[in-house]
Amino acid sequence: MKYTLLILTMIISVANVFGQEFTINGTVKDASINDILPGVNVLVKNQNRGTTTDFDGNFTITNVKVGDVLSFSYIGFVTKEVAIKNSSDLTVLLQEDVSALDEVVVVGYGTSTKKEITGAVTVVGSETIEDLNPTQIEQALQGQVAGVQISAQSGSPGSASNIRIRGISTNGDNRPLILVDGNVIEDLSVINPSDIESINVLKDATAGIYGVRAANGVILITTKTGRKNTELKFNYDFFGGYQETSRKISLLNATEYALLANEAFASGGQAVPFPSVAGLGMGTNWQDEVFQKAPIINQSLTMSGGTEKSTYSVGFSLLNQDGIVGGNKDNFKRYTSRINYNRDLLESLKLTANMIYTGTNKKSLPVGGLGSILFNALNNAPTFEVRDPNGEFTLAEGVGLGAEVRNPLAMIENTFNSVKVDKLSGKLGLNYSFWNDFVVETSLQFNYAEVQGRNFEPIVNYGAGKIGNNQRITLAENKDIFKDYTFDTFLNYDKNIDEDHNIKATLGMSVFETSGLFSGSTRGFFDNPVDFANADIADAVDLRNELKLSGASGRFKERLLSYFTRLQYNYKGKYLLSGIIRRDGSTKFGPRNKFGYFPSGSVGWIVSEEEFLRDNNVLSFMKLRGSYGIIGNDRIPGNAFRGILNGEAAYVLGGQLVFGNAIGILPNPSIQWEEQKTLDIGVDLKLFNDNIDITADYFRKRTEDLLLQPQFSGILGATAPGSSSPVVNAGSVENKGFEFAIGHNSDGSKDFSWGINYNVTFLQNEVLSVNNSVGFIPGGGFGVGQGDLPSRMEAGKPIGYFIGLQTDGIFQNQAEIDAYGAQPNAAPGDIKFVDVNGDGIVNTEDRTDIGNPIPDATMGLNLSFNYKNWDFSSYAFATLGNDIVRNYERTESLVNKSVYALNRWTGEGSTNSYPRLTTDATNNTLFSDFYVEDGSFVRIQNMQLGYTLPIRTVEKLGLDKLRFYVSANNVFTFTEYKGYDPSASSGAPIGAGIDGGFYPVPRTYLLGANLKF
Amino acid sequence: MIMKYKILKSSIIAFLIGAVAISCSDSFVDVDSFDEDSESFFNSEEDYQSALIGAYDLLQSTYLNVMLGEIASDNTLAGGESATDVPGIQEVDNMSHTPLNAQLRDIWSWMFAGVNRANYILEFKDKTDFAGKEQVLAEATFLRAYYYFELVKWFGDVPLSVDKRLLFGDQDIVERTPKAEVYAQIELDLIFAAANLPAVQSETGRVTKGAAQALLGKVYLYQDKFSEAATVLEEVINTGPYDLVTDYNSIFEQAGENNIESVFEVQYTDVEGAGFGCLQCSEGNVAVGFNGIRNYTGPDFDSGFSFNVPTQEAYDAFEAGDIRRDVAILDIVAWADQTGATYVEGFEHTGFYNRKYIARKGDLNTGDANLTNPNNYRSIRFADVLLMAAEANNRKSGADDIKAQTYLNRVRNRAELGPVVATGAALTDAIYRERRVELVGEGHRFFDLVRTGRAAQVIPGFTAGKNELFPIPSIEIELAGNRWAQNPGY
């Protein structure tokens, strides 16, 4: 011992000869959140010694001298080198390495790195979600991911969006499989977006690890966890503001309306309805009455931290959003609380436990479609006051308005309902490593949800013969329970052999069960006055529950049993090979077709690792990849392969309504899953020292054995109450296209930095075959009572294309009609239709392709700038080449009209675009391209300006970070479409793009703060 | 410490073993439905009764046959709000209907749905025995005959299936069966039903022996089998419990439902409704709302859609002093003057409404008020039986005009009209006239005109050799593989 000390002293003395050595102290922090980073590796370069930062992010290194270089490295951060200049304490800021090739990507039953991934996978990180302030997760994906199209079903708070990955590939359910921490989630509105760490979108056949459910793509969502060795940190986010309608449709005022109505009646040979128009003035603008500014407030608090062996994260959030129609009558509230806990039970055994509770409460109004509030704001006569002299709502009575047109404010006043959801989701998982190369993981995920609906109808009179009149106070309640669990067990093997060969293998199984219990609607009446808040179903009389009366079970249970394996091999980290096979058994299919095998494979070549490209100045990274596989779709109603007595059988015997049994969906014992054959060829590039990122993909998805429920011969009895057509495998659809994304992010450590990301998708959809006897499947709806449906799925055309008459201007005079001959009943001023089949008469046989609701291209653009403490981001997206059908105009004679009616045909030469106004029965209201418009648009979706207080100021306040921002969402839309919102869509594969009065997505102005302490 | 490790390790192993044990069997995905399987049903009397309710259910969808049948005749006009309000109904009124007509497709599909539900029971008729099974089978057989009779009346030759459902796949192979064969089966079914049904049922609404016989008589009449018709109809008159109700006005009110005159009545209720997307799902009489007075406010009646409006000519067809006129036809102008009621004139406003089947006040009208009127449809009234018997006796070879007069005058007497003494062809005409005014608004007129060869003379736009039958919906021909010939003229 004495010797040792002596030798040491000698060495130090000798070293001192060469330079003054000293001890250096310092702290390492995460630059983005100015938070300490424990566990960072600190190495003295070229000396093979170093240390790691402690619990408080501090480090001490002895015996260093000026000129030594310290290297700081930490997983997920850019390694930083600092040359020692003097002995004073160092503060080192590390930048998060967001585009790192080593970034871990969740790929389903395991992880991979960005570098090694051979499939088409896009990751959206929490930063993007923070920038966009979405209230629903879908909004964070809109325009962000090439190949993913998001369209809102409505602008109403809490309403869902359609998610389409690489086009519409089936006539049935096109939703992708969505897994949150491995847990199946059907309704994304229950998730608080700020709980999300990352969203991974699997777009190609590598999603085949999910087998029979993967054909519409897979979205894997990971929630936030804490970080080891960090003290408790709080993160509080707030935003609040107001929403307003992004658009109003220009309508006729009362005087214009009356004059045009008179013209129409006179032309039809009827007495004019407004003999005097004097004093009508502007009248009531129903849209001004219906739309309002509506508040939105969102708060969330996250607490996270970790010890040496465990991490935890706890979050709460509260969202309260009113609707721009009806305010609090169209309200969405969401409460979430979440706990995420991970612990290393042993060095080799890790436990994951998380639990999310979500409560939502949604009040809604009838806002879209025939007879809805917005429909009535457009169609009700401007000559009516809102209220009569007695203060009562006016009635939209009189012939010429139809039974559906009612006072929209009376409708808002008389609508009372709520849907309350309580949902508990959780996961318990164990991960055990053994024999160096093996990891076995097992987890149980579950969801439990209770959905309680209440609908109250007061006594209401909208006018004689109007729909929705109610003579007796009615309350209906229902309570449905949904349960599911997923039980996954899998083994991962990861082995390097001779440095050059890496083998990874996955072998596992998954069990899934979902079940539900519907209470049916219990309806009762109140004979004494009572309001919604105080109505208790226990006090109601004449209680009825038709589901219970009918004796139907109201229950379902479906299961999935799956085995899967994946083998990955790479040679020298540049040649990548992967194969997947999954066997699925599903309760959806009959005994002969229950089980299926879904294989897929992919290859990759990291070209930039080759000698000839190494150290290339331009190309810093290049990967070529390709994948092909067969994946499935089982999203059809349960029990479609067998006859189930859940149809409606109800008749009156002995003076009582009695219930019996009848068949539901007609059975087709031979149905099986849809098969999708998917090809993807892609390239990933990084240019100029990783400054520019490019990803490009060509894809072709061919869906075969499409599951359809087409119209069938009436002799089979499918139109009986509660029955429907059999589900059949009939048809195929192809989606092919090209995706391209390019991005640049400049060095974030400078005073000024900026970033730009752009993505575009070109998509072509074609139906290849429809194997029913007519060769097409009709769908959608136009106008009222028109027997021919406007949309079709037909071979050679995009799915859901519009079929109608083609117009050729307006007949200017009788001579023109006579000369044409094909429309003998037309009058001057009527629309001239093209006699497409040339048989000398215009009829339904002349209907032809007049539009396509699927966009040719969709794109998104993100821009961000940071200057010192200021940050700015802006984001826009566009869809090009899609058509929309204007179907929010009722054809009755006295409904109000859009201002374009002012340009109507009034005599020879007046216009060749807009037909005359008349109460005569004309063919002008037949579905034709007169009603089809270009729905292309460019939308500035988000602009945000933020200011982060300087660290010094913040520290004085005892905080780590404080940022304020102002933001506007849905800022402006450039479009030529006349309706409310070209972005909204019903989501039906056949019948999409038909606008029955979409609730416009609101424009939102927000003020927000992010606080960390 | 070592203990702790052991516990942990063993728990993991248990976890994994549990996972494998629970789920490794393929039978995990064999899950029974919570609802009954259609092929393993019919194990008890209750099952048969339950399926029978399903077969009865489609009777409610015949509201459309009644309404459209009336509109097709010279009794009423289509009406509605405008010339384009339900184009399919307007076309039938104008005799301009084509194979694209949506309402005709509804009738086709709904009647076949009824046939299939009746055949579902009969397919399994031998599976389980219980006391009183014949009666259940007789009811099912009657219902099949009822639906098939509607199908032959509207479409002529139709695919016939006996004791076997038409299943998925059959649409590609079945042929249209000649009308005569369909009629032969209907007769067999009704003879079987009449033989196995009681004269009086414990529950109103169930088919009786008299109903089966009356329908059989009607089916004979439609084939000009007058003697067979006379025999079976007279059996109803002589042995059935039926009689004319004294007060004609009471027949069509709520209180008059299932009265002594009602031989067969389609039952409706106001306690459960439906939407426009599934009119056949309503438990109410949809036609009543469609027939109702447009934008009406006033006593006695509820508002409706002003379809099926009687013509002046139909109003004038009543003899002076006929008490039935003001029961059958509402003169809305006079009514409004008298009561201060208000209404709006719809398309083709004639000033008249089909008073037998327009909406009455005081119903629950649960759901959509216009679609949930409880008014039962009096499908076969005893007055109809008397008039059919009169016609059969008058037109059979070896005519018995005395009997014919007796039956006819029973009906006239109730209407406070004097007796008819004519015989021969004059009596035939008198019976035809009486049928029109007694049964106006009840959906029989068009088919009476067609079967007696008078349609072309009186229905505007009617083309002889074509309009006797309605077209098979073209989409139905296509969906059955484009193998069937269309009806003549379409």
Q: Point out the least confidently predicted range of A113-122, A505-514, B223-232, B350-359.
A: A113-122
Token representation of residue B174: 């079945």
Do the bridges between strand A994-995 and strand A883-886 make them parallel or antiparallel, or are there none, so unpaired?
A: parallel
Predicted local confidence at residue B278, as pLDDT: 87
The predicted structure's pLDDT at residue A101: 64
- Dist CA B109 CA A634 (whole Å): 29
Chain A 867-896, residues with CB within 8 Å of chain B CB atoms = 891-893
The residue ranking higher by pLDDT, A786 or A40, is: A40
Residue type, A400: G
CB A593 within 8 A of CB A729: no
Cβ-nearest to B53 among A659, A716, A919? A659
Does the beta-carbon distance from A652 to B268 stay under 8 Å? yes
| B75 vs B89: CA distance, rounded Å | 14
User: How many A-B residue pairs are in contact by the CB < 8 A criterion?
Assistant: 288
Instruction: Quote the mean pLDDT of chain A.
Output: 87
pLDDT digits (tens, 9 = 90+) for B81-134: 877 788 899 999 999 998 888 899 999 999 999 999 999 999 999 999 999 999
Token pair in block for residue A275: 């003999």
Report CB contact under 8 Å: A660, B50: yes
Q: How confident is the model at residue A798 (pLDDT cuts 50, 70, 90)?
A: very high
pLDDT the model gives residue A172: 72
Reply yes or no on whether the pLDDT at A448 is more than 70: yes
Contact present, A790 and A803 (Cβ < 8 Å): yes
Q: Which residues contact A895 (CB under 8 A, 6 or more apart)?
A: A379, A380, A381, A400, A401, A402, A405, A889
**pLDDT band at A882, cuts 50/70/90?**
very high
Residue located via tokens 């809805």? A372
Residue B19 reports pLDDT greater than 70: no
Residues of A in contact with B481 (CB under 8 A): 773
Decide if A663 touches B, using CB distance below 8 A: yes
Report for A610-619, A687-696, B413-422, B471-480: range of highest mean pLDDT: B413-422
pLDDT in tens, A156-165: 888 888 888 8
What pLDDT is attached to residue A890? Answer: 82
Taking CA–CA distances from B53, the nearest residue in chain A reads A660
Average pLDDT over residues A216-242: 87
Per-residue pLDDT at A11: 47
Classify strands A218-223 and A177-180 as parallel, antiparallel or unpaired. Answer: parallel
Please give the residue that has the higher pLDDT: either A202 or B368.
A202
Task: Look at residue A435 and tell me whether its pLDDT is greater than 50.
Answer: yes
Closest residue, chain B, to A726 (C-alpha): B168
**Overall average pLDDT of the A257-285 stretch:** 90
List chain A residues with CB under 8 Å of B164. none
pLDDT number for residue B3 = 60
Question: Which of B22, B167, B297 is opposite residue A464, by nearest beta carbon?
Answer: B297
Q: Answer with the residue of higher pLDDT: B123 or A922.
A: B123
Is A430 in CB contact (< 8 Å) with chain B?
A: yes
Nearest residue to A372 via CA among A792, A887, A726, A862: A887
Question: CA A615: distance to chain centroid?
Answer: 41
Is residue A970 predicted with pLDDT exceeding 60? Answer: yes
pLDDT at A199 over 80: yes
Backbone angles phi, psi at B8, to 5 degrees: -60, -45
Question: What chain A residue is nearest to B161 in terms of C-alpha separation?
Answer: A715
Helices B45-57 + B102-123 axis angle, to 10: 170
Which residue on chain A is closest to B36 by alpha carbon?
Answer: A645
What average pLDDT does this structure show over A94-119? Answer: 76
Higher pLDDT, A48 or B188: B188
**CB nearest to B369's CB, from A469, A652, A774:** A469
Alpha-carbon gap, residue B262 to B284, rounded angstroms: 19
Number of H helices, E strands in chain A: 10, 54
Q: How many residues does chain B have?
A: 490
ipTM of the modeled complex: 0.95
Task: Judge: A464–B295 Cβ closer than 8 Å, yes or no.
Answer: yes
Q: Is the Cβ pair A587, B283 closer than 8 Å?
A: no
Chain A residues with CB under 8 Å of B36 CB are 644-645, 661
Report which of B258, B323, B330 is spatially closest to residue B299, judged by C-alpha positions. Answer: B330
Task: Find out whether A668 and A641 touch, Cβ atoms under 8 Å.
Answer: yes
Q: pLDDT per residue over A858-869, tens digit each?
A: 999 999 898 888
What is the arrangement of strands in the sheet containing A177-180, beginning at the earlier edge strand?
A121-125, A196-202, A218-223, A177-180, A183-184
With an 8 Å Cβ cutoff, are A652 and B12 in contact? Answer: no
Q: Which of A535-544, A791-800, B417-426 has the highest mean pLDDT?
A: B417-426
- Please give the share of chain B, as a percent, with pLDDT higher than 90: 79
Q: Do A661 and B53 touch (CB under 8 A)?
A: yes
The token duo for B167 is: 């299943």
Tell whether A646 lies on the interface with B, counting CB pairs under 8 A: yes
Residues of B in contact with A366 (CB under 8 A): none
Please indicate if any CB of chain B lies within 8 Å of the CB of A467: yes
Confidence of residue A453 (pLDDT cuts 50, 70, 90): very high
Q: Is the pLDDT of residue B22 over 60?
A: no
Q: What is the pLDDT of residue A787?
A: 61
In the prediction, which pLDDT does A657 show?
Answer: 92
**pLDDT of residue A77 exceeding 90:** no
Residue A914 pLDDT = 93
CB-CB under 8 Å, A717 with B166: yes
Which whole number is the average pLDDT over B33-41? 91
pLDDT of residue B357: 97
Q: At a CB cut-off of 8 Å and minimum separation 6, what does A788 contact?
A: A778, A844, A847, A927, B100
pLDDT exceeds 50 at position A331: yes
Least confident segment among A805-809, B9-13, B240-244: B9-13
pLDDT tops 70 at residue B15: no
Q: What sign does the CA torsion over A126, A128, A131, A137 have? A: negative
For chain B, helix (H) and strand (E) counts, in that order, are 19, 8
* Percent of chain B's residues with pLDDT above 70: 95
Q: Which residues of A touch B283 (CB under 8 A)?
A: 650-652, 657
Q: Indicate yes or no: CB of A719 within 8 angstroms of CB of B280.
A: yes
pTM comes to 0.84
Report CB contact under 8 Å: B303, A721: no
CB contact under 8 A, B35 and A786: no
Helices (H), B240-352: 286-291, 312-316, 325-328, 332-339
- Distance in angstroms (rounded) separating the CA atoms of residues A708 and A769: 12
Q: How far is CA B150 from CA A291, A642, B266, in A?
A: 52, 30, 14
Q: Which residues in chain A have Cβ-Cβ distances shorter than 8 Å to B108?
A: 714
Q: Residue A652 and residue B345: Cβ atoms within 8 Å?
A: no
**pLDDT at B409 > cutoff 90:** yes
How far off is chain A from B215, nearest CA to CA, in Å? Answer: 20
DSSP labels, B317-346: TSPTT-TTHHHHEEEHHHHHHHH--B----
Using the beta-carbon criterion (under 8 Å), do B8 and A346 form an inter-chain contact? Answer: yes
Q: Where are the alpha helices (DSSP H) in A278-320?
A: 286-290
Residue B413 C-alpha, separation from nearest chain A C-alpha, in angstroms = 31
Return the minimum-mean-pLDDT range out of A560-564, A874-878, A986-990, B414-418. Answer: A986-990
Name the most confidently modeled range: A232-246, A661-675, B196-210.
B196-210
Mean predicted confidence (pLDDT) in B213-223: 98
**Look-up: residue for tokens 């709080």?**
A234
Q: How far is B23 from chain A (nearest CA, A)?
A: 7
**Of A399, A717, A893, Cβ closest to residue B112:** A717
B247: distance to nearest CA of chain A, Å?
23
Q: Give yes or no for residue B60 having a pLDDT over 90.
A: yes
CB nearest to B281's CB, from A465, A648, A774: A648
CA-based nearest residue in chain B for residue A651: B57
Pick the range with the lowest mean pLDDT from A52-66, A118-132, A379-393, A658-672. A118-132
pLDDT by residue (tens digit) across A474-508? 999 999 999 999 988 899 999 888 888 999 999 99
Which of B28, B269, B479 shows the shortest C-beta gap to A561? B28
Residue A114 in tokens: 């960005």
Whole-number percent of chain A with pLDDT over 70: 96
Is A489 within 8 Å of B19 when comparing Cβ atoms?
yes
Stronger pLDDT, B11 or B434, i.e. the higher one: B434
Residue A250 has pLDDT above 60, yes or no: yes
Q: Among the listed ranges A10-19, A736-745, A804-813, B286-295, which one has the minimum average pLDDT value?
A: A10-19
Closest CB to B83 among A398, A714, A921: A921
Quick one: pLDDT band at residue B11, thresholds 50, 70, 90?
A: low
B323-340 confidence digits (pLDDT tens): 999 999 999 999 999 999
Q: Of the candidates A465, A553, A788, which has its C-beta nearest B296's C-beta?
A: A465
With a cut of 70, say whether residue A17 has pLDDT above it.
no
B23 pLDDT band (50/70/90 cuts)? low
First CA to last CA across chain A, in angstroms?
49
Establish if A774 touches chain B: CB-CB under 8 angstroms. yes
**Which chain B residue shows the shortest CA-CA distance from A774?**
B478
Region of poorest pLDDT, from A151-160, A434-443, B58-67, B138-147: A151-160
**A483 close contact with B: CB closer than 8 A:** no
Q: Which tokens hold the place of B159?
A: 């695919």
Strand (E) or helix (H) holding B20: helix B2-23
Q: From chain A, pick out residues whose CB is under 8 angstroms from the CB of B165.
A: 717
- Give dist(CA A54, CA A64) in Å, integer: 19
Q: Are B199 and B212 spatial neighbours (Cβ–Cβ below 8 Å)?
A: no
| Mean pLDDT, chain B, whole residue set | 92
Rounded distance between C-alpha atoms, residue B107 and residue B70, angstroms: 14
Q: Residue A363's closest CA among A653, A157, A665?
A: A157
Tell me what the mean pLDDT of segment A420-437 comes to. Answer: 90
Residues ≥6 apart with Cβ < 8 Å to A589: A634, A641, A671, A672, A673
pLDDT computed for residue A737 by the predictor: 93
pLDDT in the model for residue A15? 46
Q: Is A762 helix (H, G, I), strand (E, B) or coil?
A: strand
Tokens of A766: 């074609």
The mean per-residue pLDDT over the stretch A115-125 comes to 83
Q: How confident is the model at residue A151 (pLDDT cuts 50, 70, 90)?
A: confident
Partners of B280 on chain A (C-beta within 8 Å) are: 719-721
Min Cα distance B73 → chain A (Å) is 22
Listed ranges A780-784, A871-875, B449-453; the one with the highest mean pLDDT: B449-453
